[in-house]
């Protein structure tokens, strides 16, 4: 007869020994889990903020560098053409203009005799009219204009455009399609400082980032002196006028300011002349302001002013018919 084993089930659940130490226990309490989650969250938030700051700094530097690169390229492009030109069309005066137009001589450097490129070229239009692989060897080179001006058609993104002659065709007056050399333009201005010196200013803005660059471009083939035969127009107004007539400052100074004069070709100079009293003349100067100093007290001084352009065509002094 087989042996049998009796198994007796206890009707009581195991009871934790009250003397069990904490080191013998396993798992986490709810409080410990919540605390761990809170600490992890704070660490992740801090890490996110650090990464966000780093990203914003990167974007700031990237946009700044992008604007700087665009501005530098645009200025280099303009000074390149100004440096080689022999004729400045715009700006024509010291008045600020939003365009630059000069005769294009930089690309016109093909010499048909040698069939090679030189700095001075041969004075012929660089287009192969008769398809003989000689670039228009029988036609004189008229003045071709390269122009830089603002395109404001998109109010949210002004663009600086460049247009150069189309050398691939035989037409004398056609131009290649305009191309963008800078975007996000906030301001662009040019002014004629002297007959052969142009001041160019360009401001770019992208969001909160702003870059302003200014340079002066020297037209080496344009004479700084405009002879009498090249400029027949007197500065205006003629006679010259006062913006602020001569007035005493203290006991031994007289201050005065001429009204701004303009000329259609060159910058204007001013001459303040003392016509009564032992005062001093200013000599020809570009400033409209002059102060005569070292004067005697209780003495009457009289002054007049006139203007001239760089061809030395002078206006009448103020007040004269």
Token pair in block for residue 197 = 């010196």
pLDDT at 224 over 50: yes
**Nearest CA-CA partner of 240 in 311, 289, 288, 307:** 307
Q: What is the Cα–Cα distance from 245 to 254, expressed in whole angstroms?
A: 10
Ordered by start, the domain boundaries in the chain are 65-108+144-222, 230-308
Q: What is the Cα–Cα distance from 292 to 58, expressed in whole angstroms?
A: 56
Of the pLDDT bands very low, low, confident and very high (cuts 50, 70, 90), residue 301 is: very high
> Which CATH code is given to the segment(s) 230-308?
2.60.40
Percent of the chain predicted with pLDDT > 70: 67
Helix, strand, coil percentages for the chain (3-state, nearest 5): 20, 30, 50
pLDDT at 302 over 90: yes
> According to the per-residue pLDDT averaged within each range, which of 31-35, 206-210, 305-309, 313-317 is highest?
305-309
Rounded to two decimals, the pTM is: 0.48
Q: Give Cα separations from 270 to 257, 302, 318 (angstroms).
A: 10, 17, 12
Beta strands in the chain, from DSSP E residues, in sequence order:
88-90, 99-103, 110-111, 116-117, 145-151, 159-163, 179-182, 185-194, 197-206, 209-218, 242-249, 253-258, 269-276, 289-293, 302-308
Q: pLDDT of 226-242, one tens digit each? A: 444 455 678 888 889 99
């Amino acid at each position: 007869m087989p042996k049998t084993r009796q198994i007796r089930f206890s009707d009581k659940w195991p009871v934790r020994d009250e003397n069990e130490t904490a080191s013998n226990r396993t798992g986490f309490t709810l409080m410990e889990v919540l605390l761990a989650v809170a600490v992890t969250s704070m660490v992740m938030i801090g890490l996110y903020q650090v990464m966000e700051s780093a990203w914003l700094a990167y974007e700031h530097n990237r946009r700044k560098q992008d604007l700087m690169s665009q501005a530098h390229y645009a200025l280099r492009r303009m000074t390149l053409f100004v440096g080689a030109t022999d004729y400045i069309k715009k700006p024509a005066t010291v008045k600020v203009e939003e365009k630059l137009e000069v005769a294009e001589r930089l690309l016109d450097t093909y010499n048909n005799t040698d069939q090679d490129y030189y700095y001075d070229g041969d004075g012929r239009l660089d287009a192969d009219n008769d398809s003989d692989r000689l670039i228009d060897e029988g036609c004189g080179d008229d003045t071709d204009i390269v122009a830089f001006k603002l395109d404001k058609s998109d109010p949210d993104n002004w663009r600086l455009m460049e247009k150069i002659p189309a050398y691939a065709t035989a037409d004398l007056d056609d131009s290649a399609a305009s191309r963008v050399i800078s975007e996000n333009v906030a301001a662009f201005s040019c002014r004629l400082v002297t007959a052969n010196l142009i001041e160019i200013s360009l401001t770019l803005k992208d969001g909160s980032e702003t870059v302003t660059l200014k340079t002066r471009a020297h037209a080496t083939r344009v004479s700084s002196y405009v002879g009498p035969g090249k400029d027949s127009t007197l500065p205006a107004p003629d006679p010259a006028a006062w913006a602020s007539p001569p007035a005493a400052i203290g006991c031994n100074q007289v201050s005065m300011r001429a009204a701004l004069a303009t000329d259609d070709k060159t910058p204007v100079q001013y001459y303040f002349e003392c016509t009564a009293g032992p005062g001093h003349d200013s000599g020809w100067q570009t400033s409209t302001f002059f102060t005569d100093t070292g004067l005697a007290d209780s003495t009457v001084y009289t002054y007049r002013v006139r203007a001239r352009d760089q061809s030395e065509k002078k206006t009448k002094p103020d007040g004269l018919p």
